[in-house]
Structure 1
Amino acid sequence: MALPADPVPVARYLAVTFDCPDPTELARFYSEVLSLPVIRSTDDFALVAREGSPGLGFYRLDDYQRPTWPDSSVPKQAHLELGVDDLDAAQTRLFALGAVAADGQPMPGRRRVLLDPAGHPFCITL
């Protein structure tokens, strides 16, 4: 069965939402990392985005457990891949914002694996 030349989408992409213990803290971190404003914030949810564009959401989960990557006892459910021009400079800035280096660094000359303040792994990549 052929698809129409210009199919009508079933849905609109709004956001990827991460569970965390403190939505305000994680929204502040990613707001600074991505230079995006926090456009919604409550005690239980925060959204970082430009108005009318997809963004990143952060949802409070009272029994949140930090991922233990690379150990899989508490697996990561997702991670972000962020492009950078200078790995060392980006890593230094991200450390100042609250990120830490993950124990495993499979390709440190091209990609660095960091953990956000809630423990979610994310990569910065050339």
Structure 2
Amino acid sequence: MAVAHLGSITVDCDDPTALAAFWAELLGGATVASTEKFVSVKLPHLVLTAIRVPDYRPPSWPDEAPPKQIHLDLVVSDLDEAQRHAVDLGARLAEDQPAPGKCRVLFDPAGHPFCLCLSPGA
């Protein structure tokens, strides 16, 4: 039996206001707490927090120097439309696309990789 559940994901960045706004718009959330150091966005099943860290360096993908440490896979029904929307909000498409027919790799405004993926079996 589980003794805990995932309640929050925190991502490092140099501009928490901008990064939180990106994720709030992309995932349909709302800001619930904000300071100069962090901004938290309430999503349907968890909270995503963007936190300012000194000398932030975005992860590098696919070469992994510095390593990505974590990435999110977001399930979508239309890859092209989801990609357009994410890019309109400030994401950028990765050059390397291992499986573009099933999954698209992008970077959020702070440089964290994330994937837009069709549901398995779609």
TM-score (norm 2): 0.90
What is the identity percentage for the equivalent residue pairs of Structure 1 and Structure 2? 47
State the Cα deviation string for residues 39-69 of structure 1 (Å, max 9, x = none): 1111101111158x52111110121101110
Instruction: Indicate if the aligned counterparts of 2:28 and 2:43 stay in contact, CA closer than 8 A.
Output: no
| 1:105 corresponding residue in structure 2 | 97
Distance of 1:71 and 1:50 partners within structure 2: 31
Matched to 1:80, the amino acid is: L
The match for 1:89 is 81
- The separation in 2 between residues aligned to 1:14 and 1:45, in whole angstroms, is 16
| 1:108 Cα offset (Å) | 0.3
The 3-state SS of whatever aligns with 2:106 is strand
1:48 to 31, 38, 41: 41
Counterpart residue identity of residue 78, structure 1: I
Q: CA RMSD in A?
A: 1.5
Question: Mind listing any 5+ residue stretches in structure 2 that lack a counterpart?
Answer: none
Residues 56-95 of structure 1: pairs in structure 2 closer than 5 A: 56-95=48-87
Separation (CA, whole Å) in 1 of partners of 2:8 and 2:20: 13
Q: 1:42 to 1:101 in 2, by over 3 A?
A: same
Is the Cα contact below 8 Å between 2:16 and 2:51 reproduced in 1?
yes
2:24 corresponds to: 31
Q: For residues 20 and 58 of structure 1, what CA distance do their matches in structure 2 show?
A: 7
Once residues 54 and 109 of structure 1 are traced to their aligned partners in structure 2, the CA distance between those partners, rounded to angstroms, is 29
Q: State the SS of the aligned residue for 1:33.
A: helix
CA distance in 1, matches of 2:7, 2:110: 22
User: Aligned letter for 2:53?
Assistant: L
The residue aligned with 1:3 is none
**Please, what TM-score do these two structures have when normalized by structure 1?**
0.88
Runs of 5+ consecutive residues of structure 1 not aligned to the other structure = 1-6
Sort the Cα spacing of 1:107 and 1:12 in 2 relative to 1 into closer, same or farther, 3 A.
closer
Following superposition, which runs of at least 4 residues in structure 1 exceed 3 angstroms of deviation?
A: none
Q: Give the drift of 1:8.
A: 6.7
Higher radius of gyration, 1 or 2: 1
Task: Give the letter aligned to residue 71 of structure 1.
Answer: D
